[in-house]
Structure formats: structure tokens, C-alpha cells
Structure 1
Amino acid sequence: MTESPDQYCEKELRRVDPDRWLTALFAPDSKRPGLLAVYAFNSEIARAREAVSQPMIGQIRLQWWREAWDGIWAGRPRNHPVVLALHAHCRDLDRHGILTLIDARETDMADTPPADMAALAQYAEASSAPLMQLAAQQLGAALPPDLARNAGIAYALTGLLRATPHLSAQQRVMLPAGVLAAHGLMPEDLYQREVGADLAAAMAEIADQAERHLLAARRQRVPRQALPAMLPATLAGLHLRALAQHRFDVAAAEAAVRPLRRQMALLWASLRGSF
């Protein structure tokens, strides 16, 4: 039996972005297919760079998604399971937020790391905060801009720290060149080395910024209806603690945050109505 677009989105999201897949399970049954479609779309554009051999091809993939959304809004969806799911559930989502997410991924096509922390925060906000707003909208709610901004930056920075070894293996670095330089490192030093005290210190500086944004987000009240959209921030806090406890040894930190631990953290956040 051929799987439906909704089934495809859930299967793919569970495979490539298990954290967001897990948070989507806390959405109401009627809203979950649309939320999974939004997250599946995000995973498609987030993987545009690593799925291709040349940055220019990645840019073509991003343009494909811009045109795909034009077709969704015009009622002429392309024959792609994620596009069909988006057409079925997400045609009324904010266009500016969608296009901001796609545009943010242009940064992934560059071979140079962000210059400084400000540039990294700008990328983190553009690639994550609109997604939280879109997820909340899909749930029939809205988030205060500062809440989405701070939570989005915290989640994205945490994700970049977790992805550091994976990106380094591809000879890509997303840690700011200025932060690395302050700790005696060049970006290319990350290609062939294990985590040492200098790299751990640079990562700790970024983790501190993520923690500050997460605390700022948690000072604000989240509408109950929008809580599933904010649950990724719960997992960001969990991963930040594990990274610090394991001195930014990413493999050890990932192993420590077992699936059951994630599930229990999300369940507790859902029960108390706060991320």
C-alpha cells in the first residue's frame, strides 16, 4: 500500500529530526498532521546543503521550495509528499515566516563560518524563530515575538553545538570565527581534532548565549494552545545541561540524553504547562 503524504512526513521527520517529531506527539490529533508537515518542510530545507555536492545545487533546491510554496498558495501543488501535505494542511500559514526560513538557509551554502556571535545569533533567529511561530499558528495560536525569538535562538544554537562534529567531518564550521580565534583556534583546526579544552571553552561561550536566551524565553508566559510549538526549547535545555556536564564532548552528551529522558522531560513540561 502506498503511504499517504501525512504518513511520509511523519516517517521522514522521525528519521531525520526525532526531537521535533517527539514534540509533535503532544499536539492535538487534529493539528498534528499539519505540524508534522511544517516540520518536514523545515527538515527538507535544513538538509539542502548536505544533500548536494555543490553549494550552487543547494541554492537551486531552496529555489525549488520557494516555487513549491507559490504552487501551494495558488492551489497547484507539486507532486511531492511534503508539498502535498503542506497543501492539505498549511496553505494559510504566514508567507513572510516561510520565506524567511528558506532565505536563512542561504547561509548554509557559504563555506565560511559566521564572523562573530552577532552573526551567528542572527542566523539562529532567522532559521528557527519563524518555525516556532509557524508551528504555533498551525496549532491555532500565536507567540509573542520576543518569546519566539529567544526560544528560537536558544534551540538553534544548541543544535549547532550538537552538530559540530558532524559538520566538522564535512569540513564545515558554524562556530563563529571570532569566538574560535579568542580561544586560539582557526576554523580548519576543527576538521581533524577531538574536543580539547580550547574548543570546549569556545563551545561553552556559545552555550552560555543559548542559556541566556532560553532563560529570557522562560520568563514569558506561553499560551497553553501553543505549548507544543515551544516544547523543542525544553529539549534544548536538556541538551545544554548534558553538554556542560560532559565538557562539550558531543558524543557523550548525546548518549546521556536517552529517548526515555527526553520523553519524561516533555511529559513533565506538558503537564505543568511550561517549557
Structure 2
Amino acid sequence: MQFDDDLNACAAAVERGDPDRFRAAMAAPVPARRVLFPIYAFNLEVARAPYVTQEPMIAQMRLQWWADALDEIASGGMVRRHEVATPLALAVGPEGAELLRPAVEARRRDADGSDPADAEDLEAYLSDTGGTLMWAAARALGSAREARVRALGTHLGFANYLLAVPELLRRNRQPFPDMSPGAIGAAVRSRLPLRADPDLAERPDAGARVAELSAWRVPAILARAARDPQAVLDGRLGGSEAGARLSLMLTAAGLRRLP
């Protein structure tokens, strides 16, 4: 009963704070949601920790709380009672907790207000956040396709980063070393087409296919950003609600057709 209450709390938090991943989880098979919702709720907690306070020290303390929680899960011993940390322990286990450490450490730069120094620095941040999260989810679902999943998760991290640019600017951050539309467009086009990424040539297994549902909006977001880089700065990448829902429906239908 307590686990079900925790799972519902995780799902509700993801629905409020990360609606795209909530929809992806709801499109997944029901048993997979018991894994996905705690992982996505954890991500929500660490992603927003730097932004719920204007005090960097308090933000770092919030992140340290999660680092300590991962330590407890990784040790295989007692885990603190918390509506996200407790089901997360069951979802990922000790090895999965170790995998999630970079997702916490990467957010420390957000807490400090640090901007990416160059393209390589940004790529490392996206890999540690988006790539780590998707791989932790896929692994917990039984996947062995680490290179593929991490690559797609990093692309998802980039797409979400593009969506966040206007809010980051509002907070006096500089999301890209060069904020000109031309430079942003070049950064987007360097990822296209996604199928050219050699890591994505590997065929996904069942666990990867479920975890990869969270990337359902990536092609459309990148395509729009490539056509109109100014839309990144203006916050016009979201697209229509109807189009977004259709995209997820088609992605989920493809999942069910595959063996």
C-alpha cells in the first residue's frame, strides 16, 4: 500500500513538472511505469533544486541530500523514507543508483550559475543529465543497449535544453557560448539527421524501446530549431498540442508493433 501511495505521488509530481515524460510513461506498458515514474520524479527533484532558491548554498544542500540518498541506495542498506527516494531504490537498485550520480553532480553547475564554456562542455552536461537518465531507466527495464540509449538520451537533453533557453535567459544565464541565431542553428544542424549518429544504428531491445518513448518530441523540436533558430530564443519551439499527441501515439504504436 505504501509503495502504491509513493508511486502515485511520483506520477503526480511528474505530471505537474515534466508532462512530456509523464505522457511517455503513460504510453509505456503498465509494469514499466513502476520503474519510470520514480526515476522521472528523481530527475525532476534534482533538475529543479538549483532553481527553487536564489541561494546557491541552499541549492547545493538540496543536491547533496539526493547525493546522500543515492549513496544509501548504492550501499544496499537502509534508505531514508521519502516518497521519491524509497520507490527509486526499488526501481534502480544499487548499481542503478551509482549510474545516477552524474545526474546530480551535473546540476551543481546550475546551482552555481555556471554556463557552458564551449560546445564540449555543454555536451558533457547533456550526457550527464539526459544521457544518464535515459540509460538508468532503460537498464532498470532490462536493456543492454547502453551506447544507443545514452546517445538518444543526450539528444533528448539537447532538445529539452533548447526549450529551456528563454527561461535560462530570464535568469541571466547564457545557455550557449555564442547566443546568435546562426550559432544556435549550427549547433542544432550538427545533430541532424539523428539517424546519422552511429550509436543509434544499434537496434534497440525491449527495455530501450520503452525508455526511448521519452524522446518522442526530439525529431520535431530539432527540425523546428534548425529551420528557425530564432524560435529557440523566442520560446516558439513547443508546437501544437494536437501534433504533439499524435507524435506520441505513433511512437507508442510503433513500440507495440515491434517484437
Same fold (TM over 0.5): yes
Report the counterpart of residue 170 of structure 1 in structure 2.
171
Q: How big is the shift at 1:212?
A: 5.3
Report the counterpart of residue 236 of structure 2 in structure 1.
252
Once residues 224 and 39 of structure 2 are traced to their aligned partners in structure 1, the CA distance between those partners, rounded to angstroms, is 28
Report the counterpart of residue 45 of structure 2 in structure 1.
44
2:73–2:94 Cα contact (<8 Å) kept = no
2:39–2:91 Cα contact (<8 Å) kept = no
Closer/same/farther in 2, CA of residues 239 and 82 from structure 1, 3 Å limit: same
Aligned mate of 1:231, from 207, 213, 219: 213
What is the DSSP-based 3-state SS (H/G/I as helix, E as strand, rest coil) of the residue aligned with 1:111? coil
Q: How does 1:137-148 map to 2 (within 5 A)?
A: 137-145=139-147, 147-148=148-149
1:128–1:155 Cα contact (<8 Å) kept = yes
Report the counterpart of residue 32 of structure 2 in structure 1.
31
Closer/same/farther in 2, CA of residues 262 and 228 from structure 1, 3 Å limit: farther
Q: Which letter maps to 2:169?
A: S
Stretches of structure 2 that go unaligned for 5 or more consecutive residues are: none
Q: How does 1:19-98 map to 2 (within 5 A)?
A: 19-73=20-74, 74-98=76-100
Once residues 214 and 152 of structure 1 are traced to their aligned partners in structure 2, the CA distance between those partners, rounded to angstroms, is 14
Q: Which letter maps to 1:40?
A: A
1:6–1:37 Cα contact (<8 Å) kept = yes
What is the DSSP-based 3-state SS (H/G/I as helix, E as strand, rest coil) of the residue aligned with 1:163? helix
1:151–1:214 Cα contact (<8 Å) kept = no
Closer/same/farther in 2, CA of residues 243 and 226 from structure 1, 3 Å limit: same
1:246–1:253 Cα contact (<8 Å) kept = no
Matched, 1:219 2:201: yes
Once residues 264 and 92 of structure 1 are traced to their aligned partners in structure 2, the CA distance between those partners, rounded to angstroms, is 37
Matched, 1:122 2:106: no
Report the counterpart of residue 187 of structure 2 in structure 1.
206
Q: Which letter maps to 1:253?
A: L
Q: How big is the shift at 1:90?
A: 3.0
When the two chains are superposed, the root-mean-square deviation of aligned CA atoms in Å is 2.3
2:135–2:153 Cα contact (<8 Å) kept = no
Q: How big is the shift at 1:224?
A: 2.9
Mean Cα deviation higher: 119-128 or 87-96: 87-96
Once residues 144 and 90 of structure 1 are traced to their aligned partners in structure 2, the CA distance between those partners, rounded to angstroms, is 15
Stretches of structure 1 that go unaligned for 5 or more consecutive residues are: 181-198
Report the counterpart of residue 107 of structure 1 in structure 2.
109
Report the counterpart of residue 16 of structure 1 in structure 2.
17
Matched, 1:242 2:224: yes
Once residues 169 and 195 of structure 2 are traced to their aligned partners in structure 1, the CA distance between those partners, rounded to angstroms, is 26
Q: How big is the shift at 1:120?
A: 0.8
Once residues 193 and 120 of structure 2 are traced to their aligned partners in structure 1, the CA distance between those partners, rounded to angstroms, is 14
Q: Which letter maps to 1:119?
A: D
What is the DSSP-based 3-state SS (H/G/I as helix, E as strand, rest coil) of the residue aligned with 1:221? coil
Closer/same/farther in 2, CA of residues 257 and 210 from structure 1, 3 Å limit: farther
Closer/same/farther in 2, CA of residues 68 and 24 from structure 1, 3 Å limit: same
Once residues 130 and 59 of structure 2 are traced to their aligned partners in structure 1, the CA distance between those partners, rounded to angstroms, is 19
TM-score normalised according to structure 1 size: 0.82
Report the counterpart of residue 192 of structure 1 in structure 2.
none
2:6–2:87 Cα contact (<8 Å) kept = yes
Identical aligned residues as a percent: 27
TM-score normalised according to structure 2 size: 0.86
Once residues 209 and 230 of structure 2 are traced to their aligned partners in structure 1, the CA distance between those partners, rounded to angstroms, is 29
Q: How big is the shift at 1:57?
A: 1.7
Q: How big is the shift at 1:214?
A: 6.0
Report the counterpart of residue 136 of structure 2 in structure 1.
134
Once residues 38 and 224 of structure 1 are traced to their aligned partners in structure 2, the CA distance between those partners, rounded to angstroms, is 18
Once residues 161 and 232 of structure 1 are traced to their aligned partners in structure 2, the CA distance between those partners, rounded to angstroms, is 16
Q: How big is the shift at 1:262?
A: 2.2
Closer/same/farther in 2, CA of residues 83 and 241 from structure 1, 3 Å limit: same
